[in-house]
Amino acid sequence: MNIRIALAGNPNSGKTTLFNALTGSNQFVGNWPGVTVEKKEGKLKKHNGVTITDLPGIYSLSPYTLEEVVARNYLIGERPDAILNIVDGTNLERNLYLTTQLTELGIPVVIAINMMDVVRKNGDKINTAELSRELGCKVIEISALKGTGVMEAAEAAIKAAEGTKTVPMHTFSGPVEHALAHIEEVAVHQMPEEQQRWYAIKIFERDEKAMAQLKLSADVQAHIEEDIKAAEKELDDDAESIITNERYVYIASLMKGCYKKKNAGKLTASDKIDRVVTNRWLALPIFALVMCLVYYVSVTTVGSWATDWTNDGLFGDGWHLFGIGSSAYDDAINEYAEENIWTPEVVAEVSKAADEGVIGAQDVLDAINDQDFGAFDEAYGSYGDSLAAAGYDISEVYDTAMESAPDTSDYGVWVPGIPVLVENGLNAIHSPDWLNGLILDGIVGGVGAVLGFVPQMLVLFIFLAFLESCGYMARIAFVMDRIFRKFGLSGKSFIPMLIGTGCGVPGIMASRTIENDRDRKMTVMTTTFIPCGAKLPIIAMIATALFHGAWWVAPSAYFLGAAAIVVSGIMLKKTKMFAGDPAPFVMELPAYHWPTVGNILRSMWERGWSFIKKAGTIILLSSIVMWLGSVFGVVDGKFVFDLEMELDYSLVGRLGNAIKFIFAPLGFDNARAAIATVMGLVAKEEVVGVFGVLDFVSMTKLAGYCFLIFNLLCAPCFAAIGAMKREMNNAKWTWFAIGYQCCFAYAISLIVYQLGCLFTGHGNVLGIIVAVLLIGFICYMLFRPYKEAEHLSTKAKALAQK
């Protein structure tokens, strides 16, 4: 038995949740032929030979968006054995519009009314038996979220596939039916009977794709056009609007007989929540508070604790099992450090450096005063170079003392980390030094530095999955449309932004839902400004290494990306390339509901696993190349291999030194930072991977934050650039997008650094002048009136005078 079932429904109707519930892990993800729209297929659980195809979420079968074209082509061309139409019971009237079209295709249809648990909770009633009779197909009540009724719906679709075709029960008004009868007789009478009505309706609507497919002669088209015009004249409307209105008239009659609302005219729980979270004045502050909380928990608290354990334990020296022995070791190392490391001489030297304002000296001194060796070790690791450069070098005291320091493995139950286990294994087989360096410094050091931030990402993905599943993010898209539209953007641009928080590639692909070509290109260019999962390790690295885990760093990066999108949108809309009204924004707001743990974990794992796979492929290869470049170099005119080679003589060091002048105005004019920035074009995670291989370079807080700004806003990774190329389908537009992103990132970083230097006493006159000029240009573009607006205003005045 080989049965194909198509899963069709509106966006936010619960279609994906139902698909996951029916197929479980038996899913196959790819792309539809010729387009980048994602194609999901899966095998129905406990049923051999039954394949379920998850069609893109659509509102109708009219070919307005790429998703509608894909779904329609599949249903018409492939003609599955049955359609399982999922309908949101809380938005029944809107969802049934697609249902009326599906029943006209001549394919067996089964309707699964989802969210029935919410419908019952609201006290509403849906007469499914009457609805089934009126629509001419089986109707099943389900809750995809809770898993109730889902298998019954699938089995009903299987049974329908083995039976007769669904015949549409609804009819239109007399003039329309008269025209349709003529069209069927003249144009589609040779087609299978069950398909004739759908094609006749599409011809009546003057559907260009359907007309092109049928290849009607000029005489037939002229004859049909007379019938269509006659109906339009009698009903005083255009053909497409007539069909739309007639469908809603039919649906309204269905609702009267099949749907009883308990609190008609009263606010539902979702409505009451929306009065607050979508409020004109409160919506944005609430959203800002929510995102700050999300990043605070993900990066600063829970995510930070897990990441510290991963970096210091799993990919570090090891950890105390269940914390046994950690307190005893802390006491021992603090006592030892007090006697041997932060001696009165060292304290006096660090105090003097702090008084003179040497970068990081105060942090080192604070750790000493707190008698906290862990904090001291972290601060000294970050700012030891700054102290040495200022003439306060305590490295000899530190290195000598640490040779006899207490060993953490002597306390409690110690579990060695992966690098230790790998090193012990290599030593056991007496592997050569070059292999030890490649594996430990190149592979484990580079890949481990990236994977160490996976816990933070997983925590972030859990929060985002919850906000998406419960219905809150759909509201934010609505709120953003109200704001974006003032700046010439559409709220639809927020959907790619939202998806882009996981990965820029699907975020860019999501832009295809925007009908207007100019708006779509602009969204593709700006979506990757939002920090994706791959940028989170960069944020966490800078926040930890330079700002000691300050809570505000991560949220500021998120809102900086959002601000960059708004500013870019305003400026680009002022140019001829992007001028024009934004695309209209229509979106169904689902009722608020508690998502299931399974769905949240599935969403989290899909995003996290994609990141881990990238670390196992692209990051692995990049780390190996980076390590090879650090041990091969040119010394005294000779090409040499040296495991202890100084960075300046290595190939990557020479490359970094050759290009570091480019980033000097941004504050990070050193080889390591320059190399990390360039490698970030391969994969943003590789920014952290580079420092895992070459060690983190000490930067001032201002320079470090500007380094973060540039890497957040500049051109994305190669994979995302490839997605930009596919969506724009034009090499020149792609290069323009890359150039704009890099120039915008450079300008913002330069402005922040040069003006920030005024407060640190290191201001540069030329740099400040350039920063002021850039600010002036941006302000000019932001506040310059739209040329189209001026044109419309002149036209309005002229009409008024007439």
User: Six-digit token pair at 115?
Assistant: 């969210």
Least trusted range by pLDDT, from 120-129, 483-492, 590-599, 745-754: 483-492
Per the prediction, the chain carries an average pLDDT of: 85
What's the pLDDT band for 797 if we cut at 50, 70, 90? Answer: very low
Beta strand spans in 130-252 (E): 138-141
Residue partners of 83: CB distance under 8 A and separation at least 6: 5, 6, 8, 75, 102, 105, 107, 108, 109, 110, 157
Q: Which long-range CB contacts under 8 A does 35-40 form with residues at least 24 apart? A: 35/66, 35/70, 36/509, 36/512, 36/723, 36/726, 36/727, 37/66, 37/67, 37/70, 37/509, 37/512, 38/506, 38/509
User: Among candidates 703, 682, 666, 421, which has minimal Cα distance to 546?
Assistant: 703
Distance CA 103, CA 798 (A): 51
Q: What is the pLDDT of residues 423-455, one digit of tens each?
A: 999 999 999 999 999 999 888 887 887 788 788
Query: What pLDDT shows up at residue 605?
Result: 85
* Beta-carbon-side half-sphere exposure of residue 443 (alpha carbons within 13 Å): 13
Specify the DSSP class assigned to residue 126: E
Considering only residues 153 and 384, tell me which one the structure prediction assigns the higher pLDDT: 153
Residues 153 and 188 reside in one and the same domain: no
In a domain, 302, yes or no: no
Residues 230 and 364 reside in one and the same domain: no
Q: Which of 260, 282, 302 finishes a domain? A: 260
Residues 141 and 34 reside in one and the same domain: yes
Residue 738 has pLDDT above 50, yes or no: yes
Residue 613 has pLDDT above 70, yes or no: yes
Residues 397 and 373 reside in one and the same domain: yes
Distance CA 677, CA 545 (A): 17
In a domain, 565, yes or no: no
Check which CATH number belongs to the domain holding 251 and give it: 1.10.287.1770
Residue 164 has pLDDT above 50, yes or no: yes
Determine phi and psi for 41, rounding to 5 degrees.
-130, 155
Q: What is the pTM of this model?
A: 0.68
Residues 134 and 189 reside in one and the same domain: no
Q: Would the CA dihedral through 582, 587, 589, 594 be positive or negative?
A: negative
Query: What pLDDT shows up at residue 487?
Result: 66
Residues 770 and 621 reside in one and the same domain: yes
Q: Which of 161, 196, 212 finishes a domain? A: 161
Q: Report the pLDDT averaged over residues 615-621.
A: 77
Distance CA 731, CA 740 (A): 14
Pairing label, strands 638-641, 50-54: unpaired
Q: Decide if 679 contacts 686 (C-beta within 8 A).
A: yes
User: Six-digit token pair at 651?
Assistant: 């190939």
Distance CA 380, CA 222 (A): 84
Q: Give Cα 485 to chain centroid, integer Å.
A: 22
Residues 649 and 740 reside in one and the same domain: yes
User: Among candidates 529, 527, 525, 528, which has minimal Cα distance to 577?
Assistant: 525
In a domain, 588, yes or no: no
Residues 642 and 771 reside in one and the same domain: yes
Query: What pLDDT shows up at residue 790?
Result: 47
What's the pLDDT band for 794 if we cut at 50, 70, 90? Answer: very low
Residues 57 and 141 reside in one and the same domain: yes
What's the pLDDT band for 756 if we cut at 50, 70, 90? Answer: very high
In a domain, 348, yes or no: yes
Query: What pLDDT shows up at residue 30?
Result: 67
Q: How many CB atoms lie within 10 A of CB 495?
A: 25
User: Among candidates 341, 342, 345, 365, which has minimal Cα distance to 353?
Assistant: 365
In a domain, 600, yes or no: no
Counting residues of the chain whose pLDDT is more than 70, the rounded percentage is 93
Residues 764 and 654 reside in one and the same domain: yes
**Range list of H helices, 581-700:** 597-614, 620-631, 651-659, 671-679, 686-694
Q: How many CB atoms lie within 10 A of CB 340?
A: 16
CA angle 421, 422, 423 (to 5 degrees): 90
Strand partners, 110: 84, 138
Least trusted range by pLDDT, from 222-231, 481-490, 673-682, 739-748: 481-490
Determine phi and psi for 684, rounding to 5 degrees.
-60, -30
Total structural domains in the chain?
A: 4
Residues in the chain: 802
Residue 174 has pLDDT above 60, yes or no: yes
Residues 699 and 741 reside in one and the same domain: yes
Q: What is the pLDDT of residues 384-398, one digit of tens each?
A: 878 888 899 899 999
Which range has the top average pLDDT, 159-173, 683-697, 782-796? 159-173
Range of the domain at 72: 3-161
Residue partners of 314: CB distance under 8 A and separation at least 6: 417, 418, 452
Q: Decide if 716 contacts 528 (C-beta within 8 A).
A: yes
User: Among candidates 124, 91, 118, which has minimal Cα distance to 264?
Assistant: 124
Q: What is the pLDDT of residues 80-114, one digit of tens each?
A: 999 999 999 988 888 999 999 999 999 999 999 99
Considering only residues 455 and 795, tell me which one the structure prediction assigns the higher pLDDT: 455
User: Six-digit token pair at 320?
Assistant: 């105390």
Q: Reduced to 3 states, what is the DSSP secondary structure of residue 137?
A: coil
Find where tokens 């779904």 sit: 71
Task: Tell how many helices (H) and how many strands (E) occur in the chain.
Answer: 39, 13
Distance CA 40, CA 53 (A): 6
- Interhelix angle 517-526/553-573, rounded to 10 degrees, is 150
Residue 48 has pLDDT above 80, yes or no: yes
User: Six-digit token pair at 148?
Assistant: 């109730």
At position 636, the amino acid (one-letter code) is D
CA angle 360, 365, 366 (to 5 degrees): 100
User: Six-digit token pair at 577?
Assistant: 């390339």
Strand partners, 336: none
Q: How many CB atoms lie within 10 A of CB 323?
A: 10
User: Six-digit token pair at 576?
Assistant: 């001829």
Specify the DSSP class assigned to residue 370: T
In a domain, 534, yes or no: no
Q: Decide if 93 contacts 258 (C-beta within 8 A).
A: no
In a domain, 740, yes or no: yes
What's the pLDDT band for 697 if we cut at 50, 70, 90? Answer: confident
In a domain, 133, yes or no: yes
Residues 323 and 369 reside in one and the same domain: yes
What's the pLDDT band for 798 if we cut at 50, 70, 90? Answer: very low
Query: What pLDDT shows up at residue 663?
Result: 93
Strand partners, 650: 633
Q: Which of 260, 292, 327 finishes a domain? A: 260
Check which CATH number belongs to the domain holding 71 and give it: 3.40.50.300
As a whole number of Å, the CA-based R_g of the chain is: 32
